[in-house]
Amino acid sequence: EVQLVQSGPEVKKPGESLRISCKGSGYSFTNYWISWVRQMPGKGLERMGRIEPSDSYTHYSPSFQGHVTISVDRSISTAYLQWSSLKASDTAMYYCARWRAYCTSTTCHYDPFDIWGQGTTVTVSS
């Protein structure tokens, strides 16, 4: 079965660091990109950024650039989202999702997010 399994809920204090994970199974992990999506309580889906596991290339949305780091460990088919200093405003549900790009020498086409992780709740409170 193709799936993304995320790490469990986290409760942290402001200023603390955190790393959450997203483990892929049932498919070739390096053939698909992983994006992270934030959903604040009662709000919509916000794209945070993506990683291309084949070469660890990352791209961040401007709103998240410099505040989070996305990484990958290909040996264990796992992507990570980490914070060095959490804020109360980081309280949210975080999802990972996989998708794919098909590129020629001149253009790329993309697939949608076909598999999502179950989500990781992060609560930041003093």
Partner 1 sequence: EIVLTQSPGTLSLSPGERATLSCRASESVGSNSLAWYQQKPGQAPRLLIFGASSRATGIPDRFSGSGSGTDFILTISRLEPEDFAVYYCQQYGSLPETFGQGTNLEIK
Q: Which residues in this chain contact partner 1 in the complex, by CB under 8 A?
A: 35, 44-47, 59, 61, 95, 97, 99, 109-114, 116-119
CB nearer partner 1, residue 59 or residue 87:
59
* Min separation Cβ 74 and partner 1, Å: 22
CB nearer partner 1, residue 1 or residue 75:
1
CB nearer partner 1, residue 105 or residue 126:
105
CA-nearest of 100, 94, 114 to 22 is 94
* Min separation Cβ 44 and partner 1, Å: 5
* Min separation Cβ 95 and partner 1, Å: 6
Q: Are 113 and 35 in contact (CB under 8 A)?
A: yes
